[in-house]
Structure 1
Amino acid sequence: MQIYNMHDAKTNLSRLIEETVSGGEPFVIAKAGKPLVKVVRIDVEAEKPPRRIGFMKGQIKIPADFDTMGADEISEMFEGKAK
């Protein structure tokens, strides 16, 4: 990524933007060597992280009574008595 100081960017802004639009390479505008602004194409989407839904499919088995497992113990802890 190229870094241009404020004066160079101001002088060559049209050319820099054309290069960014055609090549897609963003550039940074700096003032006194300190980066201030990153210029990128507006239609370029940020890279999305991979979807993680279903990444363990087939590797985990859930018991049929999953929603009632330990109900007696839980009931005893909360109510002091078993169901």
Structure 2
Amino acid sequence: MKTVNVHEAKTHLSRILAEVEAGEEFTIARAGKPVARVTGVDQEPLPRRRLGALRGRAVVPDDFDTWAQEEIQTMFEGSGEQATP
């Protein structure tokens, strides 16, 4: 286990963390006295994703990009009639 002082730990934190990820352990010391131990965290691997798992279960219509275009335009622009006060 390596020992580093607080200043070195602050200055080289990224490098120290990379070494911790690789399995190294560190002790951080203040004035030569150990204060903290830095070790890696065991993480469960993420499950593998299956690409195309829903293939054939959903259908996107050919006119998807223009579907309900007139209705949407009417919602934004109105029906063209002005309301009277």
TM-score (normalised: structure 1): 0.49
* Greater Rg over alpha carbons, structure: 2
